[in-house]
Chains A and B, each alone.
Chain A
Amino acid sequence: QKEVEQNSGPLSVPEGAIASLNCTYSDRVSQSFFWYRQYSGKSPELIMSIYSNGDKEDGRFTAQLNKASQYVSLLIRDSQPSDSATYLCAVFGNQFYFGTGTSLTVIP
């Protein structure tokens, strides 16, 4: 079982819609959770961090964490074509683990 699992996609949404990205993790003692965006051929770029249960909003992005279910998600509201990228979920327990990423395409 992988430490961090993501649906690889591809996920396609129309412009202006909500994109929902999901991630599960296996280590119950994980403390810190992150979402990164990676454009093709570029380095990962931090979008959000979340450390406690509940929702955290930053602009069009909302991260949701449920430690009991070992689940973290990212919602992107009013999706734009520039949001088309691969989204990486990262979890820190005793070290960092990344998921393999979900490819998102926003269709104009």
Chain B
Amino acid sequence: NAGVTQTPKFQVLKTGQSMTLQCAQDMNHNSMYWYRQDPGMGLRLIYYSASEGTTDKGEVPNGYNVSRLNKREFSLRLESAAPSQTSVYFCASSEFIGQEAFFGQGTRLTVV
């Protein structure tokens, strides 16, 4: 039982490049989330999906897009990476929206 799995673990991008962060959970959870964590800013919600087929903006959605591919998978896309998007990205899931959320191991992204 792996829980929440994120790929890749580390990534370096050049400004303007695009990439997709992948997240999959095997806990049969309905809700999934993407956060970024920056020093002094704490965890901030980028997008979330309350259930399969729905997505909603969080606190800091600009520059990102998401896809809830199926119940298990929720991807985060950076269309044109900027240095301000250098951060650690965490995916999380919960059985239902607002309940206990469990986190993946994180993706450390650097945009140069």
Q: How far is the CA of A90 from the CA of B59 in the complex (A)?
A: 14
How many interface residues does chain B have, given as a range? 20 to 34
Residues on the A chain within 8 Å of B58, using CB: 95-96
Q: Mark B25-69, 1 if CB is under 8 A from A, else 0.
A: 000000001010000111111001000000010110000000000
Known: A44-B103, A95-B48. A101 touches B90 (CB 8 A): no
Q: Chain A: interface secondary structure?
A: strand
Complexed CA–CA distance, A101 and B48 (Å): 22
B101:A100 contact, CB within 8 angstroms: no
Residue A70 CB within 8 A of the other chain: no
Q: Do A44 and B59 contact each other (CB < 8 Å), given the known contacts A97-B45, A99-B42, A100-B40?
A: no
Q: A43 near B103 (CB under 8 angstroms)?
A: yes
> How far is it, in angstroms, between the C-alpha of A98 and the C-alpha of B90 when the chains are bound?
13
A34 at the interface (CB under 8 A from B): yes
A80 part of interface (Cβ distance < 8 Å): no
Interface residues on A, range: 20 to 34
Query: Residues of A at under 8 Å CB distance from B?
Result: 4, 31-32, 34, 42-46, 49, 88, 90, 92, 95-101
Q: Which residues of B contact A (CB under 8 A)?
A: 33, 35, 40-45, 48, 56, 58-59, 90, 97-106
Show 23 residue pairs from A and B whose CB-CB distance is below 8 angstroms, ordered by the A residue.
Answer: A31-B98, A32-B98, A32-B99, A34-B100, A42-B106, A43-B103, A43-B104, A44-B103, A88-B42, A90-B43, A90-B101, A92-B97, A92-B98, A95-B45, A95-B56, A95-B59, A96-B45, A96-B48, A96-B58, A96-B101, A98-B35, A100-B41, A100-B42
